[in-house]
Amino acid sequence: MFQQPISRGRVFQLGGALAAAGALAAAGHTDAIASMLSDEVTVTFWTPGGSARYCQNFSNIARDFHKLHPNITIGKTTCGTGQQDFLTVLLAKIAAGNPPDATIYWDSPVTLGVRGAVMQLDPMMAVSQYSQAKYWPPSALASCQFRGKTWGLPLTGSPYAIWFNQDLFAKKGIPTSREKFPKTWDELRKLSKEFTYWKGDTLVSAGFLPMNPPELPATIFVWSALNGGTIYDADHQKYTIDSDQNVAMMQYMLDWLNEEYKGNRTAVDTSANWTGYADAKGRAPAFQAGKLAMLEQGFWFVGDVLSAGVTFKHYEVAQYPVGPGGKKTVSGFWPNWAVIPQGSQHPQEGFKWLDYLAGVGVEKWFAVTPDLPTNRNVPASLVPAVAVQQRGQAYAANLTRFFHHQLDISIPMWNSPIQGFAFDQINKAVNNIMHKVAKPKDALAAAQRASQNELQRVLHSA
Amino acid sequence: MAVMAQPMKRRRWSVMRRREAIAGYLFILPWLIGLIVFTAYPILATVYFSFTDYNIIQPPHWVGLSNYTTMFTADTDFWNGVGNSLYYALISVPLGLAFSLGLALVLNLRARGVGVYRALFYLPALAPSIVATVVFLMLLDPQNGLVNVLLRAVGLPAPGWFEDPSWSKPALIILSLWGAGTAALIFLAGLQEIPQALIEAATIDGAGAWSRFWNVTLPLLSPVVLFNLVMGVIWSFQVFDQAITVGGTTGDPLGSTLMFMVMIYNNAFRYFSMGYASALSVVLVLAILVVTAVIFRTSRLWVFYEGQQRDA
């Protein structure tokens, strides 16, 4: 007699499973099929860009994560979107319903959250291991929050400080310690003159350039707070760009430009690249070339301050000096945020990955790229390897402690639903003032009007 | 004897003709679908979105003419963008035509190795626009760029180029000449179509080089001039890569390089105002249509086709 290898019941079971799989495949849920069959999930993860080493590092971190969560595989990190603008591609994917499960984002998550482009994270944070609200510095977490809801995680939050060339200071007999650095704007302005030198219409060297791009759109919040003002009041959802303190701040900066820089911002800009990074023209940064004695930069600058071609060995960092209208020093920060796009196929698994990154994985991230971790589960004793190589363990630890303190005294930033629009208006106003196209009061009033109107429009439709 | 005209009888298509027509439509169907899906639908969608408040993610919300009202009455960047784009178009297009025509006239000479020169002059047009822009940023660097170094060497003033709001648009216009090779090739093809007999006849009649060019070559080249003019106008209004590389999203310095397309990009993808960006796009298309229509309308006065009869 023949043996029946498969029973009739088994045939019906297999047929039903195949039909269900076929239906799911037709609907595009191939991962659901895999999950149905084996409970394994592959999470797609993006970053807006970065060096090959930075992006590859996420794969290394993902391997460690996989050991703890064998059913979750983090797919190969999509490192930027090639020649297409990252935000354009991300928004298109969200609108089309096939976004990545999780992504790093280099701009305010509030702008995405208020428009329904990313998921609210509070429920997932509440039951997470590392990402509960109590584990984040308040101002860092506030950068992701709007109307009481959290739209992202501030995985790293590199704070700002004033970096100065100690070798240049020493040559002029100026004290080089952090503690002796100017504490007020008047002291900074007086010190800056020591280093500023013109040859005809060419600025050969400078001390400190007020309202200097490209960090300006972020740091204007800091300068405003240093003078007792604000740019954006998140509690009342109101811009305060043209407040008396801000008008006074810009008048002060304009007076500074007139006194030390011949009142000619165009001549300053054409003379050199007054930043810490090479510009689009390939001009070497003036700070590393020893032409600029002081500049404001974020913690990440520790990886680039002694880059190739640098003309000095010793640098130091100091707190921001206080303006005439201010009472205490503050700082600001520029995070790497992480978000879960709306329409993510595996939001829970994606959030588990981000939670791991926040509390554990960021240590490996920090070892490669000096972005200061913000989560309180990450040991504060971590120091950037590049600073240890440059200046030794003791200095690197001291530097990192300083920046942790800068993060603690940072003001709320990045929490406006119209971040990009407001940045452009403020940038335009500051440029118009510093190039003497408009008076401070008028330029700031124009930025205020435009920003507040746009904010009202977005809040109305939110 | 008068012949009464018979009314045309409606002829019924034969089966063969019907089959041929169906086959023809089937052959062009892929292109037709592409036209509808990738051209017609996006245009109609853009017009619709221009009357809505739309952020790409959430459904559009009808606001009527609000976007257009904001554009013309409240958006200061709009008039700045219009001014910059008009300045750029009004200068770059005629300059580009003259430059590429001059290039074509030189390449039309019967000189040894002219084929190599034709390839060399066309090569820059193949380079990505961002690459060309970065090269020009270096060449026009106010301090160390080659152009200013040479200008200073001969005692001429060295402008600030992309750092100076008075010189940034002229610098962009100079940059636009980098791609003149494409128009030059089209002019070259037109020049080679001109019957040599006409040139020789003019020479025999005592016409000098300029007279031959002005009275024979240019009139016969006018259809090509029309084509390059229309394409140049369309392209100049759509300048984006160069402007955003040079001036960023704020049109630095001082908004002087804020072109219309950069404004559309800002509103669509940085400010999440796809509705307003759509309204800007509609206005841009209408502006290009009007300018193109005016060019075509006036072309009857200055474009001559070979063999065409004109009233004296």
Per-residue pLDDT tens digits for A18-72:
555 555 555 555 545 554 555 799 999 999 998 888 999 999 999 999 999 999 9
Residues from chain A contacting residue B137 (CB–CB below 8 Å): 280-281
CB-CB under 8 Å, A420 with B56: no
- Closest CA in chain B for residue A437: B254
Residues of chain B that touch chain A, judged by Cβ-Cβ distance less than 8 Å: 53, 55-58, 61, 74, 76, 134, 137-138, 141-145, 160, 163-165, 245, 249-250, 252-255, 266, 269-272
pLDDT of residue A2 exceeding 80, the answer is no
pLDDT of residue A11 exceeding 60, the answer is no
pLDDT, position A214? 78
Q: How confident is the model at residue B264 (pLDDT cuts 50, 70, 90)?
A: very high
Nearest one of B182, B195, B191 to B223, comparing CA atoms = B191
Q: How confident is the model at residue B144 (pLDDT cuts 50, 70, 90)?
A: confident
Residues in chain B: 312
- Closest CA in chain A for residue B63: A461
Taking CA B196 as the corner, what is the angle to CA B195 and CA B201, rounded to the nearest 5 degrees? 110
How far B250 CA sits from the closest chain A CA (Å)?
Answer: 6
C-alpha to C-alpha distance for A226 and B252, rounded to whole angstroms: 27
- Closest CA in chain A for residue B143: A271
Give me the residue from B55, B137, B164 closest to A270, CB to CB. Answer: B164
> Residues B130-154, buried b or exposed e (16+ Cβ, 10 A)?
eebbbebbebbbbbebebbeeeeee
How far A81 CA sits from the closest chain B CA (Å)?
Answer: 15
Q: How confident is the model at residue B4 (pLDDT cuts 50, 70, 90)?
A: very low
Q: Does domain B66-302 have CATH number 1.10.3720.10?
A: yes
**Where along chain A do the CATH 3.40.190.10 domains lie?**
37-158+334-400, 160-333+412-461
Element (DSSP H or E) covering residue B236: helix B218-237
- Backbone dihedral angles phi then psi of residue A39, each to the nearest 5 degrees: 65, 15
Q: Residue A361: CB partners within 8 Å, gap ≥ 6? A: A61, A64, A65
Nearest one of A303, A315, A299 to A404, comparing CA atoms = A299
pLDDT, position A131? 97
pLDDT, position B298? 94
- Chain segment A75-122, per-residue pLDDT in tens: 999 999 988 889 999 999 999 999 999 999 999 999 999 999 999 999
Nearest one of B273, B231, B302, B294 to B57, comparing CA atoms = B273
Residues from chain B contacting residue A88 (CB–CB below 8 Å): 269
- Closest CA in chain B for residue A434: B254
- Mean of pLDDT values over B10-36: 89
Q: How confident is the model at residue A8 (pLDDT cuts 50, 70, 90)?
A: low
Q: Count helices and strands (H / E) in chain A.
A: 18, 15
DSSP SS3 for A333: strand
How far A347 CA sits from the closest chain B CA (Å)?
Answer: 18
Determine the topology of domain A37-158+334-400 in CATH: D-Maltodextrin-Binding Protein; domain 2 (3.40.190)
Q: What is the mean pLDDT of chain B?
A: 90
Taking CA A199 as the corner, what is the angle to CA A194 and CA A201, rounded to the nearest 5 degrees? 110
Amino acid residing at A101? D
DSSP SS3 for B102: helix
Nearest-10 Cα torsion for A24, A30, A35, A37: 70
Of 3.40.190.10, 3.20.10.10, 2.40.110.10, 3.30.2350.10, which CATH number belongs to A160-333+412-461? 3.40.190.10
Q: Which two tokens stand for residue A89?
A: 């591609």
CB-CB under 8 Å, A94 with B57: yes
Residues from chain A contacting residue B61 (CB–CB below 8 Å): 461
Q: Are B29 and B241 in contact (CB under 8 A)?
A: no
pLDDT, position A215? 83
Give me the residue from A272, A418, A453 closest to B143, CB to CB. Answer: A272
pLDDT of residue B2 exceeding 90, the answer is no
Q: Which two tokens stand for residue A454?
A: 């746009």
CB atoms closer than 10 angstroms to residue B272: 27
Q: How confident is the model at residue A4 (pLDDT cuts 50, 70, 90)?
A: very low
DSSP SS3 for A108: coil
CB-CB under 8 Å, A424 with B144: no
The DSSP call for residue A414 is S
pLDDT, position B11? 60
pLDDT, position A13? 56
Nearest one of A64, A31, A23, A1 to A357, comparing CA atoms = A64
pLDDT, position A217? 80
C-alpha to C-alpha distance for B202 and B211, rounded to whole angstroms: 9
- Mean of pLDDT values over A125-129: 96
- Chain segment B171-199, per-residue pLDDT in tens: 999 999 988 889 999 999 999 999 889 88
CB atoms closer than 10 angstroms to residue B208: 10
- Closest CA in chain A for residue B271: A421
For the purposes of burial, counting CB atoms within 10 Å of the CB of A450, is it exposed (0-12), middle (13-18) or buried (19 or more)? buried
Residues from chain A contacting residue B163 (CB–CB below 8 Å): 266, 269-270
How far A61 CA sits from the closest chain B CA (Å)?
Answer: 31
Residues in chain A: 462
CB-CB under 8 Å, B53 with A461: yes
Q: Helix H segments across A227-308?
A: 244-260, 265-271
- Closest CA in chain B for residue A417: B271
pLDDT of residue A15 exceeding 70, the answer is no
- Mean of pLDDT values over A271-284: 88
pLDDT of residue B217 exceeding 50, the answer is yes
Residues from chain B contacting residue A216 (CB–CB below 8 Å): none
pLDDT of residue A427 exceeding 80, the answer is yes
- Dihedral of CA B187/B192/B194/B197: which sign? positive
